[in-house]
Amino acid sequence: LLLLLLLTVKKKANKQYFIVFLQFFHLPSISLHFPPLPFHSASPSSPLLSEIMIRSLVSAKWLQEKLLVEGAASSIRVIDASYHLPIWNRNPHEDFLKEHIPGSTFFDIDAVCDHSTGLPHMLPSPDIFQDEMRKAGITNDHHIVVYDATHLGIFSSPRFWWMARVFGHNKVSVLDGGLLQWKKLGFELSSGPEAEYPPSNYLVKDFHTNHVVDLETIKKNIAKREHAVLDARSLGRYQGVDPEPREGISSGHIPNSKSLPFTNLLDNDNHVMKSVEGIKQEFSNVGVALDGDTQLLPPCIATCGTGVTASVIAFAAHLVKEAQGEENADFFVPVYDGAWCEYAEVEKDNIHTTASSDCNCNDKK
């Protein structure tokens, strides 16, 4: 039987099924040189594949069951990466102390960042991220599930998802609906300080600089138009008719960019991500095809106010490509990290508003 199975292993997916067979019968697979498999999943299309792939979006029910079954020995670590806009008048850490998912730790994107630029919560250096993971007791083998506690369900958690993947930690998922969905289902909550874990020896093994875009790239793209720049801010801010949430910054948009408010990618009635088909439609509305090829047509750059909700665009695109096949597991949309806060400050004389011919008014809200 083993020989027969070996002879029929021709594709990567078949190898994975075979490893599951070996593991089920406690048979060694080392000599076959197959890679180890992460046994985590979300809402899989196949029961067997569900045990092989780490999904980028997981449900509250899935997380609750995993934590309940695995207990203290869980290979999952939960992170609250909440961030609130200044106009919301909320403190995310104070909210965390009031209520959070049991066993979770708090990740402050305003603290764990590059403070040298003067811009809000810029991507930290690999050393800073590594130190934070070590202090939180997270290892390279942990499957991180990140959530936020905003009233939107999903807002800042994709920012941590994007950050982790920039530093090569692909075992990371966003909790669909965040704390809002967790509470809606009546699951247990904790209060007080975050959970404490022994420090780890976490090591940043990769730094994918191609996941990040700087101002110079944006300026060159204005002329060359090689990438579609998708703006996740509200349509009013994009058009320049609504104020920015930060004082001293003009609203408007980068020339040749398109408006794709991140809320268009959410099921706002249920505070969760839209379906894959719904996400594809939103990208199609701004002239971007997510079908077929492993790349977007045209290729895209995501932007917003400070790099937070741009990550929702990057995350949504990844969900679609992930659903199209395992070969797209490394697919990414780069994020302009300085975002509108940097652009509007440096390029004050090159801001477009409602009257601009490139305005793309696709906001349905």
User: What positions carry a catalytic annotation?
Assistant: 304
The neighbour count for residue 35, using CB atoms within 10 Å, is 10
Structure tokens at 261: 């408010």
Which parts of 211-338 fold into alpha helices (H)?
215-224, 235-239, 276-285, 310-323
Tokens of 96: 């965390």
Q: Within 10 Å of residue 86's Cβ, how many Cβ atoms?
A: 11
Distance CA 16, CA 48 (A): 9
Q: How far apart are CA 259 and CA 247, in angstroms?
A: 22
Compute the Cα dihedral for 349, 353, 358, 364 and give only its sign: positive
| C-alpha to C-alpha distance for 237 and 222, rounded to whole angstroms | 19
HSE-up of residue 331 (Cα within 13 Å, Cβ side): 25
Q: Is the dihedral of CA 202, 205, 209, 211 positive or negative?
A: negative
The Cα–Cα gap between 335 and 258 comes to 14
Cis peptide before 298 (omega within 30 of 0): yes
What's phi and psi for 190, nearest 5 deg?
A: -120, 165
294 HSE (CA, 13 A, CB side):
8
Please answer whether residues 45 and 161 qualify as being in contact, where contact means their C-beta atoms are separated by less than 8 angstroms.
Answer: no
Those residues whose C-beta lies under 8 Å from the C-beta of residue 127, and which sit 6 or more positions away, are 204
| Tokens read off for 288 | 């971007």
Neighbours of 299 (CB within 10 A): 12
Residue 289, CB-side half-sphere exposure with 13 Å CA sphere: 7
